[in-house]
C-alpha cells in the first residue's frame, strides 16, 4: 500500500503526518516555532524555522511509523496563506517572512485599490486586504528598497519549503489566490495587475494546479529528510483549501464551517462567483477547474473563550476537579436555557468584523440583558450569536448562487453536539463531523496521492480517504423558532454602527 506524506506549515508550528492510502494516519509529529512581533501589529517568522521543523517532523514520522522511504510515493504541502518570502539570486532568504496576520500595509492596500480600480475585484476576485501578499511586496519596496533590489524570487510559506525540497520556484492556484496578483477566473498570474503595480512577473513562481507534480526531491533534501531522492512533491494548497480536501468538500453543494478561534465557512463551487461588495473571498479551489467561496468572522470560538476566561472561573475549577472539559460544563448550563436565550442577543464582534461586515470598529454586545438572565442564558446567547454570524455569511453565499446542502464542521467548537445542532437549525441543512482531525495535512496528502497516480482524481481520493462522523439534521420546529431571533440579530449591527464608530474615536 502506498504511503503519502502531508506537511502543514502552520503559524504556530509545522505538523507532518504520514498516511496510508485509506487516509489512516500512521504517524504524526508537530514542531512549534515563535512568531516575532517587532512592532505592534506586525507579525514575522524566520523561514529557516519552518525548514528545520519540516526536516525534523519528516524524520520523526519516518522513525515513529517504521515506514521505509521507498514506500513514500509523494509529498503534499499545505500552509498558512499570504506570507511573503523574498529570496536573492542565490536562493537565500533576504528578510523575515511577513505573515498573513501582519497589519502594517493598510496604506499600500489603499494604493493598490486606487491603482487597480475595477480590476481589483473583477480580476483578483478580492479586495486589497492587509493580510494579502501584494501590499506586503509594496511595503518592502517602499521601506526597504535595498532588499527589494536584491529580490529575485517571491514565494509563499509552503512554496519556500517546496524550493528547499526540490529546488523549484513554483506555486499553485489555491494559495496564489490570496496574493491579490492572480487572475482567479483564468488561474494564472494577471499581467494587467502586475504591470499596474509595477511588479516583475519574473519574481513569481511557476503556476500549477494543486494536484500536479511540481518537482522531485533533490539529493541534498533527501539527505536532510531521509526520503528518497526523486520523490515527487505536488502543488498542495493553502491551509483552508487543503482542509476542504481533507473534509471532502470537493463537489458543488458541499462546504465546511470551522469554529476555531475565528469562524470560517468554505464552500465549493464549479463556477467562478465573485461578490462585488468584497464581503467574502473567492479563491481557486485545489480541485482543478473549480473555485471556493470563503467567509471569515474574527471571534467565533474566541467569543466563548473570552466568556469562559472572564466569567467561568467556577466552571474551570469544577472541570479540573471532575477531569472534564470546561466547555462541556458550560454547554451543560447553556442547554438549560431555551432557544433565544430568554430574549437575549449576542453580537460576536470582539475583534471588529471581516465577513460580512468589513468593519474593524464593530464591537461585541449583549442586547436585551435583564435581571432574570443567568450565566446559562449568556453562554447560550454567545453560542447562538456566533451561529447567527455564520448563518449571515452563508446567506451571502446563497445570494451569490453558491448553494450549500451538506456542511461539515471542524475546529474546537465543532466538538460540541449542542453547537452543531444550533448550526444545523440555522443553516437548514445537515451538519456532520469528520472522523479524521488531520484536515489540512490529510488534504495535502490526498493531493500528493493524485499527483503520484495513487488516486485517479481528487474526488476519488476523498471517497477513499475521508470518513464522515455523526450527522445532525435540522429540526424544523427549532429552526422556525430561531428564525425571528436571527432576523432581529441582523438588524442590530446597522442600528449600532454609528455608535461603534463614535466609540472608536473617543
Ligand atoms: P484554533 O483556531 O486556535 O486552532 P481550535 O480549533 O482549537 O482553535 O478551537 C478553539 C475554540 O473551540 C475555543 O476557543 C472554544 O470556543 C471552542 N471549543 C473547544 N472545545 C469545545 C467544546 N468541547 N465545546 C464547545 N466549544 C469548544
The pLDDT score that the predictor gives to residue 358 is 84
The pLDDT score that the predictor gives to residue 436 is 82
Tell whether 152 is covered by a domain: yes
Whether 396 and 464 map to the same domain: the answer is: no
Last residue of a domain, one of 416, 433, 450: 433
Strand partners, 5: 18, 75
Between the CA of 479 and the centroid of ligand 1 the distance, in Å, is 24
**Which CATH number characterizes residue 357's domain?**
3.30.420.40
Whether 239 and 328 map to the same domain: the answer is: no
Position of cell 464549479? 270
How many domains are contained in the chain? Answer: 2
Last residue of a domain, one of 407, 433, 459: 433
Whether 356 and 444 map to the same domain: the answer is: no
Strands, DSSP E only, in 51-132?
72-79, 85-87, 97-98
Between the CA of 107 and the centroid of ligand 1 the distance, in Å, is 34
Whether 462 and 382 map to the same domain: the answer is: no
Tell whether 491 is covered by a domain: no
Whether 204 contacts 171, CB under 8 Å: yes
Whether 78 contacts 171, CB under 8 Å: no
Whether 74 contacts 449, CB under 8 Å: yes
How far CA 409 is from CA of 42, 347, 401, 434, in Å, comes to 31, 21, 21, 7
Q: Would you state the cell numbers that stand for residue 161, as one nine-digit string?
A: 519549503
Distance CA 232, CA 166 (A): 9
Residue 198 designated active-site: no
Ligand 1 pocket: which of 264, 412, 421, 440 to mutate (most atoms <8 Å of CB)? 412
Whether 206 and 351 map to the same domain: the answer is: no
Last residue of a domain, one of 433, 459, 485: 433
- Which atom of ligand 1 approaches the CA of 301 most closely? 16
Position of cell 473549480? 290
Whether 201 and 314 map to the same domain: the answer is: no
Between the CA of 308 and the centroid of ligand 1 the distance, in Å, is 11
- Which atom of ligand 1 approaches the CA of 304 most closely? 16
Whether 396 contacts 243, CB under 8 Å: no
Whether 52 and 170 map to the same domain: the answer is: yes
> Which residue range is the domain that position 115 belongs to?
3-246+439-469
Nearest CA to ligand 1 atom 3: 261
Query: Which residues, judged by CB distance below 6 Å to any ligand atom, belong to the binding site of ligand 1?
Result: 260-261, 301-302, 304-305, 325, 327-328, 331, 411-413, 415-416, 419
CA-atom Rg of the chain in angstroms: 23
The pLDDT score that the predictor gives to residue 278 is 87
- Which atom of ligand 1 approaches the CA of 416 most closely? 24
Whether 384 and 450 map to the same domain: the answer is: no
Tell whether 269 is covered by a domain: no
Between the CA of 303 and the centroid of ligand 1 the distance, in Å, is 10
Q: Where are the alpha helices (DSSP H) in 247-399?
A: 301-311, 313-322, 326-334, 375-399
The pLDDT score that the predictor gives to residue 395 is 97
Cβ neighbours of 170 (radius 10 Å): 19
Question: How far from chain centre, in Å, is Cα 506?
Answer: 34
Distance CA 157, CA 137 (A): 14
Whether 444 and 378 map to the same domain: the answer is: no
Residue 197: CA atoms inside 13 Å, Cβ hemisphere, count? 34
Spell out the per-residue pLDDT of the chain, length 506, in tens: 899 999 999 998 999 999 999 999 999 999 999 999 898 889 999 999 999 999 999 999 999 999 999 999 999 999 999 999 999 999 999 999 999 989 899 999 999 999 999 999 999 999 999 999 999 999 999 999 999 999 999 999 999 999 999 999 999 999 999 999 999 999 999 999 999 999 999 999 999 999 999 999 999 999 999 999 999 999 999 999 999 999 999 999 999 999 998 999 999 999 999 998 889 999 999 999 999 999 999 899 999 999 999 999 999 999 999 999 999 999 999 999 999 999 999 999 998 998 999 888 899 999 999 999 999 999 999 999 999 999 999 999 999 999 999 999 998 999 999 999 999 999 999 999 998 888 899 999 999 999 999 999 999 999 999 999 999 999 999 999 999 999 999 999 999 999 999 999 99
Whether 74 and 215 map to the same domain: the answer is: yes
Whether 142 and 120 map to the same domain: the answer is: yes
Closest by CA to 100, choosing from 240, 275, 258, is 240
Between the CA of 323 and the centroid of ligand 1 the distance, in Å, is 17
Identify the DSSP state of 93.
B
Tell whether 274 is covered by a domain: no
The pLDDT score that the predictor gives to residue 165 is 98
Whether 70 and 128 map to the same domain: the answer is: yes
Whether 244 contacts 285, CB under 8 Å: yes
The pLDDT score that the predictor gives to residue 12 is 87
Ligand 1 pocket: which of 239, 257, 298, 327 to mutate (most atoms <8 Å of CB)? 327
Catalytic residue from among 102, 175, 239, 275: 239
Amino acid at each position: 500500500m502506498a504511503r503519502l506524506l502531508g506537511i502543514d506549515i502552520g503559524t504556530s508550528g509545522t505538523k507532518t503526518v504520514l498516511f496510508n492510502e485509506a487516509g489512516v494516519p500512521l504517524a504524526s509529529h508537530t514542531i512549534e516555532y515563535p512568531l516575532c512581533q517587532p512592532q505592534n501589529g506586525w507579525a514575522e517568522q524566520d523561514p529557516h524555522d519552518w525548514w528545520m521543523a519540516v526536516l525534523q517532523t519528516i524524520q520523526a514520522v519516518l522513525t515513529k511509523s517504521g515506514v521505509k522511504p521507498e514506500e513514500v510515493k509523494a509529498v503534499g504541502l499545505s500552509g498558512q496563506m499570504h506570507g511573503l518570502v523574498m529570496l536573492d539570486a542565490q536562493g537565500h532568504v533576504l528578510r523575515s517572512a511577513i505573515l498573513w496576520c501582519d497589519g502594517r500595509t493598510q496604506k499600500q492596500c489603499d494604493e493598490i485599490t486606487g491603482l487597480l480600480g475595477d480590476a481589483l475585484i473583477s480580476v483578483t476576485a478580492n479586495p486589497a486586504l492587509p493580510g494579502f501578499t501584494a501590499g506586503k511586496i509594496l511595503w518592502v519596496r517602499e521601506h526597504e528598497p535595498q532588499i527589494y533590489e536584491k529580490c529575485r524570487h517571491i514565494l509563499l510559506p509552503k512554496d519556500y519549503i517546496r524550493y528547499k525540497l526540490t529546488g523549484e520556484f513554483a506555486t499553485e492556484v489555491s494559495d496564489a489566490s490570496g496574493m491579490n496578483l492572480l487572475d482567479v477566473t483564468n488561474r494564472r498570474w494577471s499581467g494587467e495587475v502586475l504591470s499596474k503595480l509595477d511588479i516583475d512577473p519574473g519574481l513569481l513562481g511557476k503556476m500549477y494546479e494543486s494536484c500536479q507534480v511540481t518537482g522531485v526531491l533533490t539529493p541534498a533534501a533527501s539527505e536532510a529528510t531521509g526520503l528518497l531522492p526523486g520523490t515527487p512533491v505536488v502543488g498542495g494548497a493553502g491551509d483552508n483549501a487543503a482542509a476542504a480536501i481533507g473534509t471532502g468538500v470537493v463537489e458543488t453543494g458541499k462546504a465546511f464551517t470551522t469554529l476555531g478561534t475565528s469562524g470560517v465557512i468554505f464552500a465549493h463551487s464549479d463556477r467562478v462567483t465573485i461578490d462585488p461588495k468584497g464581503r467574502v473571498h473567492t479563491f481557486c479551489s485545489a480541485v482543478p477547474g473549480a473555485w471556493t467561496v470563503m467567509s471569515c468572522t474574527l471571534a467565533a470560538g474566541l467569543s466563548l473563550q473570552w466568556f469562559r476566561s472572564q466569567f467561568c472561573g467556577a466552571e474551570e475549577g469544577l472541570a479540573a476537579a471532575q477531569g472534564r472539559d470546561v466547555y462541556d460544563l458550560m454547554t451543560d448550563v447553556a442547554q438549560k436555557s431555551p432557544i433565544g436565550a430568554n430574549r437575549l442577543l449576542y453580537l460576536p464582534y470582539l475583534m471588529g468584523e471581516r465577513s460580512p461586515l468589513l468593519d474593524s470598529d464593530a464591537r461585541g454586545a449583549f442586547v436585551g440583558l435583564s435581571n432574570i438572565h443567568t450565566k446559562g442564558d449568556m453562554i447560550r446567547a454567545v453560542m447562538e450569536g456566533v451561529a447567527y454570524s455564520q448563518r449571515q455569511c452563508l446567506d451571502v453565499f446563497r445570494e451569490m448562487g453558491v448553494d450549500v446542502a451538506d456542511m461539515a464542521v471542524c475546529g474546537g467548537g465543532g466538538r460540541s453536539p449542542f453547537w452543531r445542532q444550533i448550526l444545523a437549525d440555522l443553516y437548514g441543512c445537515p451538519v456532520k463531523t469528520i472522523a479524521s482531525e488531520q484536515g489540512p495535512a490529510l488534504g495535502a496528502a490526498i493531493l500528493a496521492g493524485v499527483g503520484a497516480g495513487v488516486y485517479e482524481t481528487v474526488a476519488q481520493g476523498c471517497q477513499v480517504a475521508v470518513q464522515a462522523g455523526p450527522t445532525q439534521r435540522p429540526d424544523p420546529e427549532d429552526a422556525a423558532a430561531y428564525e425571528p431571533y436571527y432576523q432581529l440579530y441582523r438588524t442590530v449591527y446597522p442600528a449600532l454602527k454609528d455608535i461603534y464608530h463614535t466609540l472608536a474615536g473617543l
